Structure 1
Amino acid sequence: MRLLNSSPNAPYSTLFHWLFAAAALVIVLGGLKAISHIVTPFLLAGFLAIICAPPLGWMQRRGVPGPLSVLLLFSVVGLTFFLLFLALKGAAESLASQAPVYQARLSGWFVELEAWAKTRGLPEEMLPTELPWPATATITWLAREIATGLGQFTASTLLVLLAFMFLLLEERTLSDKLSAAFPNRRRARVRARRFLRSVLRYLLIKTAASVATGLLVGIGLAAIGVDFAVLWGIVAGLLNFIPTIGSIIATVPAFAIALLGLGLTEAALVLALFVVVNQAIGSIIEPRLMGRSLGLSPVVVLVSLLLWGYVFGPVGMLLSIPLTMIAKIALDSSPETRWAGILLSDTAKRR
């Protein structure tokens, strides 16, 4: 009798449950956006701490004292950040000084194309009087603003590095704290360790693949003779965290600079370089190292970019796929939520 009375209300209860969950998610995302200036440094520091956990453990197993090993990693990561931003700032300033040259070449191509079209009998009213690109001063101003913003961001990375150092100090005792806090929940601790291992494996492989992509692209572009090869290599490495879309975005500026500065042959070589590097690393090496499919649906990739970009800004767009992958790994680690992980995946295989 109770079953008969309760079953008609079951669909409404389920609908209310999902509406409540969606409302809670919107509130949480809105709160994160409001404090994004606080959360973003800790997100970056968290990713750095996860990636640096293996070398930290290796040094401690070799007898290096804990504080000293943390200080060494802090120095290495801080120096890497400093050199990275220094290279980006120098490339942006060089781009600002050479922007008028590239725009003048593009204008000359447009004049030649217009003259060729007139010789072929194309009516003048069908030809555009000017191309819809920004003025030279606008391009120069934008490049200088980027350089200035990078300099300001370099100062704000001190907070990221400090948070990174304290997270490394906390990592040494985290396992013992979890065991002491939850002594009777062994299954939960096993799931948590499995989840952390999966996250660590993904971030290590993805970071190594991104570094390799940036190095190969930068070296290849320098060999071809493309201007600002270091800048395009760094951009290619950073955007490698975003599957498919990132590699396309990274290819466009390097291809355009090669076309304007060198010629059609060199531009074709640049395009071939990006295709070979991204296919070799993204389609062959990464899947083999992962050991199993950790792909995301293309729709999920797009939604992740929009969602995390809205919440955390440009840094959120850069971290959108790692954040979504961590959520997917967390969903896959529990039988109760594995269905959601399958929906986020790019395959329909049940793991």
Structure 2
Amino acid sequence: MGRASVSHGRPALRVRGHGVPHGNGAAGLPRGLIVLLGLAGAVVAVAGLRIFAEVLAPVFLALMLTVTASPLGAWLIRRGAPAWLAATALVAVVYAVLIALGAALAVSVARLVALMPQYQDRLADLRASASGALTGLGLDAGRAGDLTASITPGAVADAVQSLLGGLLATASNAVFLLAVLLFLCLDAVSFPARLHSAAVERPEVVGALRSFAGGTRRYLLVSTIFGLIVAVMDTLALWALDIPLPVLWGLLSFITNYIPNIGFVVGLVPPALLGLLEGGVPLMTMVIVLYSVVNFVIQSVIQPKIVGDAVGLSATASFLSLVFWTWVLGPLGALLAIPLSLLTKGLLVDADPRTRWIDSLISSGPPRSRRRAAGLPAPGQR
């Protein structure tokens, strides 16, 4: 009887010590195969994101705006306001900001398009000079004329509008965006209570979502402050140089400040081009120098360090996220690069204790302080 008990007990010991844990069917697969399957799944997911980019980009923008403004609804609830009033106030604030920004861009771009015909003679001179320079370099005169034929007021206006392509595309889909915003804002009022209930069963996932929300708000706060500083300085500099529409280019600097690392380059092109049309190469050079001194130092040197410390992403991770999300979602993906990277990091890294080691590789700042700020347990804790 004793032997039978021992013999029957051995398989159970082997199962506990060397068997496949319950619910983890992939434990017996080779690590290389698991990596390949993961990469294949990532490729399929990215392909799906690209296919539905026109729908997903406004949804992600609405999510970012709702996450940013949601503390207003929570504050009103704590003050005793009814849920419907908090939801109404949240929707009104988000709508007002979005509509004001869209109206300012629409009016400014319309003024720019109306301004372009005034530069027809100047553009003709530039086209002739460029054609002559190409001919002097040994290019055939006909070929040089073809290359410079696109230097027209309409082409310049189209080039400027293409810089605002993501925002203009979002404006064209404004009804869908406003509808998504409405439903997200209505749900945002009760979402903290639902998160609190879900934290009992899934504390890791809830902690990751809170980390994403907090990181997004910190990123937008830092970027907004720096964007206002840069916009004011750029507007004053362009006004002093007598560049047309300085307020528009200041607004563009403010918006492109949300694009990591290279946002100032996008905002530099239109005023530099107008500087060329207004005063030739010397004025264009002055615009470029002023933008480089102000914007490069603030947006590409100081701001990335502060943003990285605030959201827990290294400068390299921020730049690669810009490239990736722009490629996936188009121009609007550049504006949403950091929030979307924080969301991806929260769901794939912070939500699973087994993958939190990746956080040390892609983040900046001390890991322990980041975990405490995000409400996540330290490694080894549950």
1:341 aligns with 2:362: no
What residue is the counterpart of 1:15 in the other structure?
Answer: 32
What is the CA–CA distance in structure 1 between the aligned matches of 2:55 and 2:124, rounded to whole Å? 45
TM-score by length of 1: 0.76
1:4-50 deviations in whole A, cap 9, x for unaligned? Answer: 9xxxxx99811110111111111122222333333222211100011
- Gaps of at least 5 residues in structure 2 are 1-13, 19-26, 369-382
The amino acid that maps onto 2:297 is Q
What residue is the counterpart of 1:46 in the other structure?
Answer: 63
Q: What secondary structure does 2:150 align onto? A: coil
Q: Residues 104 and 171 from structure 1, CA distance in 2 versus in 1: closer, same or farther, beyond 3 angstroms?
A: same
1:198 aligns with 2:215: yes
What is the CA–CA distance in structure 1 between the aligned matches of 2:202 and 2:29, rounded to whole Å? 34
1:199–1:329 CA contact under 8 A, matched in 2:
no
1:150-201 deviations in whole A, cap 9, x for unaligned? Answer: 7775352232223223222222222322333452444554454344323332
The amino acid that maps onto 1:134 is S
Of 276, 281, 288, 1:271 maps to: 288
What is the CA–CA distance in structure 2 between the aligned matches of 1:244 and 1:286, rounded to whole Å? 7
The amino acid that maps onto 1:317 is A
What residue is the counterpart of 1:83 in the other structure?
Answer: 100
1:221-279 deviations in whole A, cap 9, x for unaligned? Answer: 23432113233223222222222222122212222212321455654543344232452
What residue is the counterpart of 1:210 in the other structure?
Answer: 227
Q: Residues 336 and 203 from structure 1, CA distance in 2 versus in 1: closer, same or farther, beyond 3 angstroms?
A: farther
The amino acid that maps onto 1:14 is R
Q: What secondary structure does 1:337 align onto? A: helix
Alignment of 1:19-30 (within 5 A): 19-30=36-47
1:312 aligns with 2:311: no
Q: CA deviation at 1:305?
A: 4.1
- Gaps of at least 5 residues in structure 1 are 5-9
1:55 aligns with 2:72: yes
1:287–1:293 CA contact under 8 A, matched in 2:
no
What is the CA–CA distance in structure 2 between the aligned matches of 1:108 and 1:126, rounded to whole Å? 19
1:214–1:233 CA contact under 8 A, matched in 2:
yes
Q: Residues 237 and 228 from structure 1, CA distance in 2 versus in 1: closer, same or farther, beyond 3 angstroms?
A: same
What residue is the counterpart of 2:109 in the other structure?
Answer: 92
Q: What secondary structure does 2:244 align onto? A: coil
1:127-151 deviations in whole A, cap 9, x for unaligned? Answer: 9744546142651673798799977
TM-score by length of 2: 0.71
Q: Residues 212 and 77 from structure 1, CA distance in 2 versus in 1: closer, same or farther, beyond 3 angstroms?
A: farther
What residue is the counterpart of 1:259 in the other structure?
Answer: 276
The amino acid that maps onto 2:302 is I
Q: Residues 14 and 281 from structure 1, CA distance in 2 versus in 1: closer, same or farther, beyond 3 angstroms?
A: same
What is the CA–CA distance in structure 2 between the aligned matches of 1:325 and 1:103, rounded to whole Å? 47
Q: What secondary structure does 1:336 align onto? A: helix
The amino acid that maps onto 1:225 is D
Name whichever of 283-292 and 254-263 sits farther off.
283-292
What is the CA–CA distance in structure 2 between the aligned matches of 1:329 and 1:220, rounded to whole Å? 41
Alignment of 1:228-239 (within 5 A): 228-239=245-256
Of 200, 210, 231, 1:183 maps to: 200
Q: CA deviation at 1:319?
A: 1.6
1:206–1:286 CA contact under 8 A, matched in 2:
no
What residue is the counterpart of 1:7 in the other structure?
Answer: none
Q: Residues 17 and 314 from structure 1, CA distance in 2 versus in 1: closer, same or farther, beyond 3 angstroms?
A: same
Name whichever of 34-43 and 14-23 sits farther off.
34-43
2:209–2:343 CA contact under 8 A, matched in 1:
no
Q: Residues 333 and 102 from structure 1, CA distance in 2 versus in 1: closer, same or farther, beyond 3 angstroms?
A: farther
Q: What secondary structure does 1:226 align onto? A: coil
What is the CA–CA distance in structure 2 between the aligned matches of 1:226 and 1:190, rounded to whole Å? 49
Name whichever of 190-199 and 233-242 sits farther off.
190-199
Identity of aligned residues (%): 27
